């Protein structure tokens, strides 16, 4: 009974479920087989005993609350379990005390959860739990295996014991059989000896058998009766023993069979369970390794993140610290600034009062300054007058890049305006001649340097003076270069024409607060004693005036004018100007405060080449051209010398050039003659004649220049008259235009474009009106020289700039057209 109980306990230990119930097959087998074989056997009870390796119910009860607390949460998942709870449970040996099935449930639960929800990732604490549960099961398995081995040994020992007992019993049975046989044989022998009185039943044998009872027969019979009863007892006992033995054998066989069967089944189950568990352990190890790797990765990334956050924290802290310090500094500096501002305010208010009084003094001084400025202007003009109104500047051009023979006639140039020129055919002092002019510009002089000495004269135009600048010299000596600049000139290479107009615009801008200026430009050429408007192809009797408001307007106009200029190649210059070109700039300024109006004009003249006819080696048409040029130049000389001699008759009308320049060559005008020289030795004689002419001119005194300032009332009267005259002129012009329409010829397209651009009606008609007013007024004055105010003014001032006037007085209207 004990052995069976132990056996069933072992069986139960290996096959009992955690809830105490046995697995179906084994329990059924034991339950039915054993009950059938041994109805009295308390197998069922034994099977409910606890397994050795399973925790006892008492232990389970003690620790169960923790385990259930943690794992009986049906809805929660393992990953959500608090780490503290799991740790607490693991430390308190709850797992070791938990039933195996619960542990397996935990393992399966974690695996399912990992597979289903967490994509193979196991949180660290759950992985620890898993490892612990698997360890626990592994331990249990090894304990159970040990236990099984021990039980098996015990069982074998028991079996051996049983077998020896059976052998003993068998020996006992055989002995008892022999005794029984002997006992059964003896009475029979006695009975047969009695009945047959067989002699062979010797007295000795009977004596041996019944020696104690030989004295009395009765007592012997009684003894025999007792022995017989004892024998019967023995036989019964023997029979009983045989029955027991048979039953034990049967039982032993059954138990052996059951044990064998159980052993086999348990072995198979244990092997299968071990295999499954090993597989699971491997899987779990893999998962554990993965999760360990992931944990390491996470730890590494966490570590690096921690580091970076620590770094950031440090940076932020230092930044905050820096900001805080900066804020403190700012606060203190703002305080200091506040103080400073307050002090400054005090100081400023004090200084402001001081300045106010000073400003008053300065305002008074400024009034005086304007007076002084006026005085300066007056003094400058007087200085100009003292120097003489004709200024002669000499400019020597450099040798040209292609020139190989560079034999120069220029011996010396001094600062004081002295020029020594040497005759290459007469070496030494005899061949030298010195000239004195107002200024000499050497070959290295720039356009800007030349203009710097002309600039004050240009400026005087806006003060109401008439100024005439002309370039004189033989062909190729640099007249056009000085007046206009080289072809495609940059701003630095601009000639006097552009620089003068640029300066006029600048001065007019500077003075716009006081005086409003209007500027207009005319451009004509005198070719073969005929005057031609370079900016118009209309058959009009006077050169058109084009209002300009900027230097770029002037550049556009001059570009067209120079393209229209008569040029041809000569033996001395590949592109020689065979005409005199005259750019006239009209300036009208009105003082916005006083209403005073002033007029000034500037003549910029590029004369034709002054060389002698024989040197130019021209004939026919070109000869006539050269003769006209020479004639006009000699007329210019005659006018200048007549003025120098203060001759009563000045021969202005001997040439178109002197007629056009009449207003600028009189006593009111300021004249600059730019004498151009070619330094080449071959041009010596031409240079000599040029210099001699210039020398004579420089000795001329034309008298004091006068400004054209008019008083307001005079101007108003003049304007009234001018408007009347203007109307008459408009009518005349209309008649002329109608006449001209009859024989109108095709126009030059480029010029047409410009007329559109500078359409007088569209643009600034007022400027044109005033200039026409002036010219008409002057023409009127010329026609009636003795009439009142105008007559006296005309007498004293000479006629002002007017191409038209010159043309009308020489009856060459309308302009000849090319």
Nearer to ligand ATP, 183 or 629 (CB): 629
Residue in 479, 656, 770, 805 binding ligand ATP, rule: CB under 6 A: 479
The least distance separating ligand ATP from the CB of residue 654, rounded to whole angstroms, comes to 22
From the list 110-118, 226-234, 470-478, 596-604, the region that binds ligand ATP by CB under 6 A is 470-478
From the list 208-216, 396-404, 421-429, 514-522, the region that binds ligand ATP by CB under 6 A is 396-404
Residue in 123, 473, 600, 679 binding ligand ATP, rule: CB under 6 A: 473
x/- map, 574-593, ligand ATP, by CB under 6 A: --xx----------------
Whether omega before 168 lies within 30 degrees of 0, making that bond cis, reads no
The least distance separating ligand ATP from the CB of residue 560, rounded to whole angstroms, comes to 18
Ligand-binding annotation for 478, yes or no, is yes
Ligand-binding annotation for 477, yes or no, is yes
Ligand-binding annotation for 487, yes or no, is no
Distance separating alpha carbons of residues 676 and 410, to the nearest angstrom: 13
What stretch of H or E contains 549?
none
Residue in 97, 176, 291, 573 binding ligand ATP, rule: CB under 6 A: 573
Exposure of 55 in the CB half-sphere (CA atoms within 13 A): 22
Residue in 400, 407, 704, 744 binding ligand ATP, rule: CB under 6 A: 400
Eight-class DSSP state of 710:
B
Nearer to ligand ATP, 337 or 452 (CB): 452
- The residues with which 517 forms a beta bridge, in sequence order, are 589
The least distance separating ligand ATP from the CB of residue 473, rounded to whole angstroms, comes to 6
Considering the rule CB under 6 A, would residue 131 count as an interface residue with ligand ATP? Answer: no
Rounded to the nearest angstrom, the gap between the alpha carbon of residue 424 and the centroid of all alpha carbons in its chain is 71
The token pair that represents 194 in the structure block: 């009695």
From the list 221-229, 258-266, 408-416, 573-581, the region that binds ligand ATP by CB under 6 A is 573-581
The token pair that represents 435 in the structure block: 């000239």
From the list 169-177, 199-207, 242-250, 471-479, the region that binds ligand ATP by CB under 6 A is 471-479
Nearer to ligand ATP, 389 or 576 (CB): 576
Considering the rule CB under 6 A, would residue 442 count as an interface residue with ligand ATP? Answer: no
Residue in 11, 475, 579, 802 binding ligand ATP, rule: CB under 6 A: 475
Handedness of CA 15, 21, 23, 25 (dihedral sign): positive
The least distance separating ligand ATP from the CB of residue 754, rounded to whole angstroms, comes to 24
Nearer to ligand ATP, 447 or 658 (CB): 447
The token pair that represents 306 in the structure block: 């921690």
From the list 30-38, 247-255, 327-335, 472-480, the region that binds ligand ATP by CB under 6 A is 472-480
x/- map, 598-617, ligand ATP, by CB under 6 A: -----------x--------
Contact (CB, 8 A) for 502 and 447: no
The least distance separating ligand ATP from the CB of residue 521, rounded to whole angstroms, comes to 21
Nearer to ligand ATP, 473 or 666 (CB): 473
Q: Which residue is nearest to ligand ATP (CB)?
A: 478
Q: DSSP characters for 67-121?
A: HHHHH--SSS-GGGS-HHHHHHHHHTTHHHHS-HHHHHHHHHHHHHHHHHTSTT-
Which alpha helices (DSSP H) does 391-489 contain, by range?
Answer: 447-461, 479-483
Residue in 109, 256, 398, 699 binding ligand ATP, rule: CB under 6 A: 398
From the list 78-86, 404-412, 569-577, 797-805, the region that binds ligand ATP by CB under 6 A is 569-577
Contact (CB, 8 A) for 598 and 589: yes
3-class DSSP assignment, residue 674: strand
Distance separating alpha carbons of residues 669 and 350, to the nearest angstrom: 55
* Backbone dihedral angles phi then psi of residue 119, each to the nearest 5 degrees: 50, 45
From the list 129-137, 240-248, 417-425, 475-483, the region that binds ligand ATP by CB under 6 A is 475-483
The token pair that represents 681 in the structure block: 């030795």
Site of tokens 């012997």: 220
* Backbone dihedral angles phi then psi of residue 601, each to the nearest 5 degrees: -140, 155
The token pair that represents 318 in the structure block: 């230092």
Contacts of ligand ATP in 181-210 (CB under 6 A): none
Considering the rule CB under 6 A, would residue 486 count as an interface residue with ligand ATP? Answer: yes
Distance separating alpha carbons of residues 272 and 382, to the nearest angstrom: 136
CA 615, 620, 626, 632: dihedral to nearest 10 degrees?
150
Residue in 100, 477, 698, 708 binding ligand ATP, rule: CB under 6 A: 477
Considering the rule CB under 6 A, would residue 632 count as an interface residue with ligand ATP? Answer: no
Ligand-binding annotation for 480, yes or no, is yes
Q: How many helices (H) and strands (E) does the chain have?
A: 25, 14
Ligand-binding annotation for 474, yes or no, is yes
Contacts for 321-328: CB closer than 8 Å, 24+ residues apart: none
Distance separating alpha carbons of residues 119 and 287, to the nearest angstrom: 11
The least distance separating ligand ATP from the CB of residue 474, rounded to whole angstroms, comes to 7
Contact (CB, 8 A) for 663 and 466: yes
Ligand-binding annotation for 809, yes or no, is no
Considering the rule CB under 6 A, would residue 679 count as an interface residue with ligand ATP? Answer: no
Nearer to ligand ATP, 480 or 662 (CB): 480
3-class DSSP assignment, residue 772: helix
* β-strand pairing of 580-591 with 597-606: antiparallel
- Number of other residues whose CB lies within 10 A of the CB of residue 100: 20
The least distance separating ligand ATP from the CB of residue 645, rounded to whole angstroms, comes to 29
- Residue numbers in the known binding site are 473-480
Annotated binding site for ATP: 473-480
Which stretches of the chain bind ligand ATP, using CB under 6 A? 397-398, 400, 473, 475-481, 486, 573, 576-577, 609, 676
């Amino acid at each position: 009974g004990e052995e069976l109980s132990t056996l069933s306990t072992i069986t139960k230990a290996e096959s009992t479920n955690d809830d105490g119930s046995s697995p179906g097959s084994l329990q059924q087998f034991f339950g039915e087989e054993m009950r059938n074989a041994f109805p009295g056997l308390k197998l069922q009870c034994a099977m409910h005993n606890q397994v050795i390796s399973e925790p006892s119910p008492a232990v389970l009860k003690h620790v169960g609350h923790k385990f259930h607390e943690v794992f009986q949460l049906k809805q929660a998942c393992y990953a959500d379990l608090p780490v503290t709870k799991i740790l607490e449970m693991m430390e308190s040996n709850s797992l070791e005390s938990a039933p195996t099935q619960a542990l397996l449930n935990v393992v399966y639960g974690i695996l399912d959860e990992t597979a289903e929800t967490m994509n193979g990732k196991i949180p660290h604490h759950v992985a620890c739990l898993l490892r612990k549960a698997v360890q626990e099961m592994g331990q249990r398995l090894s304990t159970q295996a040990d236990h099984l081995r021990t039980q098996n040994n015990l069982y074998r020992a028991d079996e051996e014991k049983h077998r020896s007992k059976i052998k003993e019993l068998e020996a006992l049975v055989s002995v008892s059989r022999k005794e029984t046989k002997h006992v059964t044989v003896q009475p029979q022998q006695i009975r047969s000896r009695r009945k047959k009185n067989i002699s062979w039943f010797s007295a000795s044998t009977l004596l041996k058998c019944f020696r104690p009872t030989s004295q009395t027969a009765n007592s012997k019979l009684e003894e025999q009766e007792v022995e017989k009863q004892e024998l019967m007892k023995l036989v019964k006992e023997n029979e009983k023993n045989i029955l027991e033995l048979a039953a034990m054998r049967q039982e032993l066989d059954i138990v052996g069979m059951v044990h064998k069967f159980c052993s086999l089944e348990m072995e198979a189950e244990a092997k299968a369970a071990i295999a499954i568990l090993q597989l699971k352990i491997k899987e779990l190890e893999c998962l554990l390794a993965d999760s360990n790797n992931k944990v390491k990765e996470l730890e590494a990334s966490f570590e690096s993140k921690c580091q970076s956050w620590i770094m950031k924290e440090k940076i932020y802290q230092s930044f905050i610290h820096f900001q805080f310090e900066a804020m403190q500094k700012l606060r203190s500096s703002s305080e200091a600034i506040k103080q400073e501002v307050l002090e400054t305010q005090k100081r400023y208010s004090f200084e402001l009062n001081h300045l106010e009084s000073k400003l008053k003094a300065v305002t008074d001084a400024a009034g005086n300054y304007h007076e002084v400025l006026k005085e300066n202007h007056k003094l400058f003009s007087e200085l100009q007058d003292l120097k003489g109104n004709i200024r002669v500047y000499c400019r020597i051009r450099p040798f040209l890049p292609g020139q190989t023979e560079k034999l120069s006639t220029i011996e010396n140039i001094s600062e004081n305006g002295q020029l020594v020129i040497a005759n290459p055919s007469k070496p030494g002092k005899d061949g030298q001649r010195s000239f004195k002019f107002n200024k000499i510009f050497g070959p290295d002089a720039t356009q800007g340097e030349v203009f710097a000495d002309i600039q004050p004269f240009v400026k005087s135009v806006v003060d109401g003076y008439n100024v005439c600048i002309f370039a004189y010299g033989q062909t190729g000596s640099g007249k056009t270069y000085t007046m206009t600049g080289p072809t495609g000139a940059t701003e630095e290479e601009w000639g006097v024409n552009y620089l003068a107009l640029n300066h006029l615009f600048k001065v007019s801008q500077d003075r716009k607060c006081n005086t409003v200026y209007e500027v207009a430009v005319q451009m004509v050429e005198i070719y073969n004693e005929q005057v031609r408007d370079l900016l118009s192809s209309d058959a009009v009797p006077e050169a058109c005036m084009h209002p300009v408001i900027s230097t770029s307007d002037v550049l556009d106009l001059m570009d067209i004018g120079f393209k229209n200029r008569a040029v041809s190649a000569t033996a001395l210059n590949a592109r020689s100007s065979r005409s005199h070109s005259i750019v006239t700039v009209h300036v009208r300024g009105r003082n916005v405060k006083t209403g005073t109006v002033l007029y000034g004009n500037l003549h910029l003249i590029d004369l034709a080449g002054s060389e002698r006819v024989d040197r130019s080696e021209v004939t026919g048409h070109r000869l006539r051209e050269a003769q006209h040029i020479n004639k006009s130049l000699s007329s210019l000389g005659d006018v200048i010398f007549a003025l120098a001699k203060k001759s009563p008759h000045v021969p202005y009308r001997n040439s178109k050039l002197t007629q056009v320049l009449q207003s600028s060559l009189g006593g009111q005008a300021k004249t600059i003659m730019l004498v151009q020289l070619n330094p080449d030795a071959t041009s010596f004689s031409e240079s000599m004649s040029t210099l001699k002419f210039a020398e004579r001119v420089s000795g001329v005194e034309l008298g004091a220049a006068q400004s054209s300032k008019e008083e307001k009332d005079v101007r108003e009267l003049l304007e009234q008259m001018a408007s009347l005259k203007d109307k008459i002129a408009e009518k005349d012009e209309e008649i002329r235009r109608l006449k001209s329409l009859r024989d109108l010829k095709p126009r030059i397209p480029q010029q047409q474009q410009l007329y559109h651009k500078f359409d007088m009606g569209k643009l600034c008609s007022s400027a044109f009106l005033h200039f026409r007013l002036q010219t008409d007024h002057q023409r009127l004055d010329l026609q009636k020289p003795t009439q009142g105010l105008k007559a006296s003014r005309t007498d004293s001032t000479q006629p002002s700039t007017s191409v038209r006037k010159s043309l009308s007085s020489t009856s060459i209207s309308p302009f000849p057209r090319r």
